[in-house]
Amino acid sequence: MTQKKDEILYERAKKVLPGGASRNQVLRQPHPVYAASASGSYLIDVNGKQYIDFSANIGSLIHGHAHPKIIEAAYEQMKKGTAYMVATEIEVEYAEYMINRIKSFEKIRFLNSGTEAVMHLTKVARAFTGRPKIAKCEGAYHGTYDVIEVSQKPNPNTWGDKKRPNSVPHTAGVPKGVLDSVIIVPFNDIENTINILEANKDDLACIIIDPMPHRINMLPASQEYVNTIYDWTRKNGSLFCFDEVITFRVHYSGMQECYKVQPDLTALGKIIGGGFPIGAFGGRDDIMEVLDPICQYYKYPLSGTFSANPISLTAGLTAMKLFEQDAVNNLNALSDKARSLISEAIKIAQVPISMSGEGSIIRLHFADRVPMDYRENYYNELNQKEAIKRFLDYLYDHGIICVNSLTFFLNTTMTDKEINILADTLLDAFKEVKPYIK
């Protein structure tokens, strides 16, 4: 039997790439899907099969693939140069735009990824406060910096008491000092979070929160939780920080516009690059001054060879100008229609499946209600492992790509057509996997 092109590519890949890929997210059995081209909401693989792409490269493509205006703008900049050792006008223009768009921003720095954004945000918090520790929520994903990935994926053998979770290394060999510098709190649990923060109040530089954490449950942090932590940081000299690398797409100014209080610092990435690698963080002027080498408060030298490169900034600014308030509203309305149709499919199929997420993000859970915290979600995914695998396989086989966590990111090129196809395919998928749901 003649091998297909994707099979041949995977055999080659396994010889030169660990596991056969540079990103574990793309690995699936019997082999990854290999893209040949993509446009708008559609992707075609190397065998010529077409998919509707609801992954949006893990949420980063707010306007889908190869948007003509973004490609044109990036191409025009490429002809002038891709990176310089000197500053550019686009850096200033994009900074001005983002500060006007996000109320909590007074200054901003551009970087190369969401991981870098959170990494440097935490280091700035330490430099500003002079304190060594940070706090984060159990199970929250903030990138791959060894500090911020602590307790990213603990298990029952390691996570400890729910009232005072352990700081668990994500990879082998993490120094004990790293673990000691990260305080873990339970998401949306006010009493236990405050008790833990109180026990470390003299050492905490910041607490960082994803306001709708993907890996935990994709439920928003409650108003009371956010307000209580914010008030605690005001009393105890710590910084209150948001990771909006994923959630910035939910509203015009990100999830933070839903809350009564503003973060001191916020990390961004994904959609602000227009499909190119980018990261950024911004916030209060007095905090960001620790990065200013001509300021008396200068404490943290920060550079990067490709930080603020004109390709990512040009594409990003173009994408953000296209994602103005009306576009945000229209995309969220389409997403609400998708939720309605998916809810109807769940009822027709009579399956114990629930939904979380807001705006243009939808996540499914194989449970009759959304898990309330990381630990509940852990057990749910473990118990439903076979059903989830079969469900993802069915979607891929029938031309739908989503994130492995059963998360769907919509983009502005989608229409009722794509949403109807999604709903019909999900209905069939629900019926297919119903016998495997525990």
pLDDT given for residue 275 in this prediction: 98
- Distance from C-alpha of 378 to C-alpha of 381, rounded to nearest angstrom: 5
Residue 123 pLDDT more than 80? yes
pTM comes to 0.96
Closest C-alpha to 243, from 339, 152, 345: 152
* pLDDT class of 2 with cuts at 50, 70, 90: confident
Q: For the segment 217-235, what is each residue's pLDDT rounded down to a tens digit?
A: 999 999 999 999 999 999 9
Cα(418)–Cα(392) distance, integer angstroms? 18
Q: How many other β-carbons are positioned within 10 Å of the β-carbon of residue 3?
A: 10
312-340 tens-digit pLDDT: 999 999 999 999 999 999 999 999 999 99
What are the tokens at 217?
């449950």
List residues with catalytic annotation: 141, 243, 270
Task: Report pLDDT digits (tens) over 373-391.
Answer: 999 999 999 999 999 999 9
Architecture of the structural domain at 68-322: 3-Layer(aba) Sandwich (3.40)
Residues with Cβ within 8 Å of 50's Cβ and at least 6 positions away in sequence, in order, are 42, 43, 44, 399
- What backbone torsions phi and psi does residue 57 show, to the nearest 5 degrees? 50, 60
Domain with CATH 3.40.640.10 in the chain: 68-322
Residue type for 421, please?
I
Residue matched to tokens 């790509």: 401
- HEC string of the chain? CCCCHHHHHHHHHHHHCHHHCCCHHHCCCCCCCCEEEEEECEEEECCCCEEEECCHHHHCCCCCECCHHHHHHHHHHHCCCCCCCCCCHHHHHHHHHHHHHCCCCCEEEEECCHHHHHHHHHHHHHHHHCCCEEEEECCCCCCCCCCCCCCCCCCCCCCCCCCCCCCCCCCCCCCHHHHHCEEEECCCCHHHHHHHHHHCCCCEEEEEECCCCCCCCCCCCCHHHHHHHHHHHHHHCCEEEEECCCHHHHCCCCHHHHCCCCCCEEEEEHHHHCCCCCEEEEECHHHHHHHCCCCCCCCCCCCCCCCCCHHHHHHHHHHHHHCCHHHHHHHHHHHHHHHHHHHHHHHHHCCCCEEECCCCEEEEECCCCCCCCHHHHHHHHHHCHHHHHHHHHHHHHCCEECECCCEEECCCCCCHHHHHHHHHHHHHHHHHHHHHCC
Give the CATH H-level superfamily of domain 33-62+324-436. Aspartate Aminotransferase, domain 1 (3.90.1150.10)
pLDDT > 90? residue 1: no
**What mean pLDDT, rounded, does the chain reach?**
97
d(CA 17, CA 137): 33
Examine the pLDDT at 157 and tell me if it is beyond 90: yes
User: pLDDT digit string (tens) for 194-208?
Assistant: 999 999 999 999 999
pLDDT band per the 50, 70, 90 thresholds, residue 416: very high
